Amino acid sequence: MASPATRNILRVPGKIVKDPTDLSAADPYGGTVLGDVHQITVRLKSQSYVLTAEEWGGAPWEVIHAGYPLFLAATLRGIDNDAMAAIFPDTVTGDPSGETNVRFRVDNGRAGTLLSTKSMKLLFVPNASLRHRAIILRDAVPVAAEDASWGLNASEEQVTNVVWYAIPDKTNRVAEMAFIKDLAL
């Protein structure tokens, strides 16, 4: 086993990139950086089923792997136009401002709307990419977190909580965690 290196376990600050096209290119790898990220969490829930044998008194005799539902959650500070357009199901460019605005209405964002139409390739790349692993979600569906709220006052920073659910892409790949130089699109 390798010796632990304290510098590798303290913090892993980084950024989120939408639709990277060339991982050998300079940051943002041909994609678009989404906002200023305050906090990122990747959650992986390993699912398995324990098979028991009645003839052995209900003792386990096998365990079946049932997949890894995965999602990436982030808190975006001062959400920008690119992030807003990527996250919310119904946005429009304001006239005359040219800024991205969110519309909360029922025709494009009603219950039952498939959010996979807004899916994207999503890359979390650490600032210290030579020491920490990147994570790529091959097809990520963005959703404003269920508990999303915006503090609209002088004492609270305005942040947006977002969750990207990893779903299989056309080649059945879901996600990969590796050093950026080892990843392929």
> Residue-wise over 87-124: b if at least 16 C-beta within 10 A, else e?
bbbbbeeeeeeeebebeeeeeeeeeeeeeeebbbbbbb
The CA-based angle 23-79-90, given to 5 degrees, is 95
Q: What whole-number percentage of the chain has pLDDT above 90?
A: 39
| pLDDT higher than threshold 80 for residue 63 | yes
Q: What distance in Å separates the CA atoms of residue 162 and residue 87, rounded to the nearest whole number?
A: 7
Chain mean pLDDT for the chain: 85
pLDDT at 178: 95
- Smallest CA-to-CA distance from 49 within 37, 67, 36, 34 is with 67
pLDDT at 107: 62
172: its two tokens: 């059945």
pLDDT at 150: 72
Q: What is the pLDDT of residues 73-131, one digit of tens each?
A: 988 877 788 888 888 888 888 889 999 888 876 665 667 778 888 899 999 988 888 88
143: its two tokens: 């959703």
